[in-house]
Structure 1
């Protein structure tokens, strides 16, 4: 088996990984088109709220959906800010983990109805749909291990946002609900496809067709929720608990943690033969690297 030289990954390996994780398919972070620019201009007209991002020295970032007057609903400008924050995280090479949360003790109630009404024409709705699909796909593909911290309610598009993270944590009083049917809709931000991957088609059909409220118990039962925080805590304490929970997966070298996420993404999204080739290439970026050499010196595997 041909291996990369210690500490010097091959340039073509870097290029191959870059093509998959940054420039692949319709979800490239570097491509744009007139339709996207058109929907951006329209979304900017509906301002309010913000998407706040705090990158910490621990390598864990916290992204907050902040529009408490509307239960953290996404205004048009917030949709654009979400795309900008994802772009920022894509270039954060020191990053290992991400917590997505809402402000003021609730997660997110989906779209601001003012923006929805303004894009009620089918062609505008489709453009907004594709814009958010692209952004949330890039969020899930980030080489960071991501957690949705669900406090209060995650409704509609907010429920879809939870599925764009690797894991979901809930406080004991939280609820996730795909309320789209009540609005005469189905998920459009990729939430249905991701939900089927997470809980299976039977459970997904029940949640979508029944608009069922998912409390922590049901969430654990069907595999939508990975952990329930033991108490209904103040927001700051909930965040501390989420950081503690996530840290079990983000301890260690950033290149290694990021490589782990990349091989999982390729295994999930690519045909087997292509996923195997990608895994080999990613392996080549860490073999002989600082973390690998340090572990060999400690003989960690045999302890």
Structure 2
């Protein structure tokens, strides 16, 4: 599938996925979401991609939301179809075996904030802005925002952002836990790549299993979550990486994980 609105490159195991509609502030229309879904499917099956970074084209916008011009003419059936493919795509991102970092380089509004929340964690440029403006347009968040945002920042902050439909800056986003770190715009991608390389230095299977355990645990009671953790913990002892990591520690040597 040829892409008109996104770009993807694999830089030595770091997959960089860029939403590229700069004239529309990287807003998500149906074509863009369809391309994103296709690309995520390919990433999912590509074992050479160890960590993914999602960002937006240019220095102004990560994703400024869904394309309001396109949405304004939709009927309920069309609106539901657009919401469903977007929800499915973001859930696919959330459940990728690879860790996913959002490099929020500017506006992350509506669908952009929802996309960022579908990533495992978020780093933001100093100029980044976050918000869920949907109720000011007569709709609710429809790409997972009513579910993921409160899980990321807590029910109170999540409701406030959605009900007020206002924007918050990067520092406020950091204060409430929406982003992990705020850095100058020119340092954002290098910072995300540095973190990606640190993740890649750890045992790949263990990282994937830890991600799965966290994601499952958030959506169930703690007893069920701990029981699942017990299973993945035990599974790690069947891997060569576990033997390598512990032998390297005991013998005070460099570790060399193979993902086996």
Structure 1, residues 26-69: CA drift from partner, whole Å, max 9, x if none? xxxxxxxxxxxxxxxxxxxxx99422222232x32111001111
Partner of 1:181: 135
The TM-score, its normalising length taken from structure 2, stands at 0.87
Question: Are the structure 2 counterparts of residues 255 and 165 from structure 1 closer, same or farther at C-alpha, using a change threshold of 3 Å?
Answer: same
Corresponding residue for 2:257?
none
Q: CA deviation at 1:161?
A: 0.9
Alpha-carbon distance between aligned partners in 2 of 1:134 and 1:226, rounded to the nearest angstrom: 25
From 66, 89, 100, give the equivalent of 1:111.
Answer: 66
In the TM superposition, residue 281 of structure 1 has moved relative to its aligned partner by 3.9
Cα distance in 2 for partners of 1:136, 1:143 equals 14
Unmatched segments (≥5 aa) in structure 1? 1-46
Match of 1:197 among 124, 142, 151: 151
Q: Could you give the per-residue CA deviations for residues 256-290 of structure 1, whole angstroms, max 9, x where no partner exists? A: 22122122122122444553454344334431322
1:261 aligned onto 2:215? no
Match of 1:149 among 81, 103, 106: 103
- CA deviations over 1:98-123 (Å, ceiling 9, x no partner): 111000122011222343134x2112
Partner of 2:17: 63
How many residues get paired? 251
Cα distance in 1 between the residues matched to 2:77 and 2:246 = 57
**Please, which runs of 5 or more residues in structure 2 have no aligned partner?**
254-260
Judge conservation of contact 2:104–2:123 (CA < 8 Å) in 1.
yes
Counterpart of 2:7?
Answer: 52
Equivalence for 2:258: none
**What residue is the counterpart of 1:242 in the other structure?**
192
Q: Once the 2 structures are TM-superposed, how far is the Cα of residue 138 of structure 1 from its aligned partner?
A: 1.4
> More deviation in 182-191 or 290-299?
290-299
Any idea what SS the aligned residue of 1:99 has? strand
Q: Name the TM-score, length of structure 1 as normaliser.
A: 0.76
Post-superposition offset of 1:128: 1.4
Asked which structure has the greater RCO (Cα within 8 Å, sep 6+), the reply is 1
Give the RMSD, CA atoms, in angstroms.
2.3
Structure 2 Cα separation of the partners of residues 80 and 111 of structure 1: 13
Asked if 1:126 corresponds to 2:89, the answer is no
Of structures 1 and 2, the larger Rg is shown by 1
Structure 2 residue matching 1:228: 3-state secondary structure: strand
Q: 1-side partners of 2:43 and 2:228: how far apart?
A: 22
Shift of 1:181: 2.1
Distance 1:127 1:170 in 2: 31
Contact 1:145 1:250 in 2 (8 A): no
SS in 2 for 1:107: strand
Show CA shifts across 1:154-189 (max 9, x none).
121111111111111111111112111221111001
CA–CA separation in structure 1 for the residues paired with 2:214 and 2:250: 24
